[in-house]
């Protein structure tokens, strides 16, 4: 009688069993945070707060985003449950993007942070100038 030496099937990864903690290295909330706070993620979410958009409209609204990056961002946000993609079976094809309720909540939160950053530009630039000046001073006068 011959005994098979089959390797066991790999186990499916266990769902995250602990309470989410963004400070923990393997916490899935880190990936969510990365998606909603990426440069394009914030701007896409903010634009979709206004209304739903077609792809080309959204690309024009979010200045500087490439077609590839917009497509990747929308796909990621859709996968995470923040964006709804509504493909209508018409000719020519029409696809509209809008926020889900979860996406609207995320968008409001990151958009407030974006608006705060706009209001703080002058203070940040002043801090940078002080920092750079102090570094230059230390470089020219190493005794300090």
- Per residue in 85-129, pLDDT (tens digit) is 999 989 888 999 999 999 999 999 999 999 999 999 999 999 999
For residue 80, count CB atoms less than 10 angstroms from its CB and return exposed for 0-12, middle for 13-18, buried for 19 or more.
Answer: middle
What does the pLDDT read at residue 4? 52
| pLDDT at 53 exceeding the cut of 60 | yes
DSSP secondary structure letters along 24-63: STT-THHHHHHHHHSHHHHHHHHHHHH--EEHHHHHHHST
Q: What is the pTM of this model?
A: 0.77
């Amino acid at each position: 009688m011959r005994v098979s030496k089959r390797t066991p099937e790999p186990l499916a990864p266990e769902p995250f069993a602990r309470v989410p903690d963004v400070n923990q290295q393997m916490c899935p909330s880190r990936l969510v945070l990365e998606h909603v706070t990426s440069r394009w993620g914030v701007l896409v979410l903010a634009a979709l707060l206004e209304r739903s958009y077609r792809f080309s409209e959204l690309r024009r609204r979010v200045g500087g985003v490439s077609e590839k990056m917009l497509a990747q961002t929308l796909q990621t946000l859709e996968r995470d449950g923040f964006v709804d993609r509504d493909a209508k079976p018409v000719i020519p094809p029409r696809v509209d993007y809008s926020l889900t309720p979860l996406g609207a909540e995320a968008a409001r939160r990151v958009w407030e942070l974006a608006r705060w950053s706009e209001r703080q530009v002058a203070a940040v630039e002043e801090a940078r100038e002080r920092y750079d000046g102090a570094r230059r001073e230390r470089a020219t006068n190493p005794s300090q």
